[in-house]
Amino acid sequence: MPWILPLFLVSLLFGRLAVMAASQHLAASSPESLSTEGLWTKYKNALDSAAREVLGPRMFAKKPWVSQATLSIIDQRRKAMQRGDLEEFRSLAGPRRRSLRHDKQQWAEKIAYSGERHLLCCEIKDAFANFRRLRRKRTGRQLH
């Protein structure tokens, strides 16, 4: 029963389904025959696989300003195109564009605010490093 406390913590983080999945993965092996390192590896792998089963894969953006909400709209639009649902695909173009524009504006405001704070603290180098991030030159495809 060395897994009771950690599984309780997992239940707080991931919910009841993750606990059941993690305990099934852990029950598959006998913990007495493994070393401490082997037990940790087994426990970590069980938690990882349970989290993947319950939560699913996390979506990542190539740009730093794209939020998870925007990624879900993009994913819905991609799935609509794969299904051949052209009506839904077109209807999601506007919300996707607005969400991307909003995310980029929020990102730029956050960087500008950080730069202003650095200026108020007389940290000129850090302030202009932030401002430089806002005016990066466009390359390649973005120029056309």
pLDDT confidence of residue 96: 96
In tens, the pLDDT along 56-107 reads 766 677 888 899 899 999 999 999 999 999 999 999 999 999 999 999 999 9
Q: What are the b/e assignments for 81-92, b being 16+ CB within 10 Å? A: eeeeeeeebeeb
Digit-coded pLDDT (tens) for 1-56: 444 445 555 555 556 665 666 666 566 655 566 678 887 888 888 878 877 777 77
The answer, yes or no, to whether residue 143 has pLDDT greater than 50, is: no
pLDDT of residue 47: 78
Higher-scoring residue by pLDDT: 51, 108: 108
Which pLDDT belongs to residue 118?
Answer: 92
The CB density around residue 42, as the number of other CB atoms within 10 Å, is: 16
Of 1 and 109, the one with more pLDDT: 109
Average of per-residue pLDDT across 101-127: 92
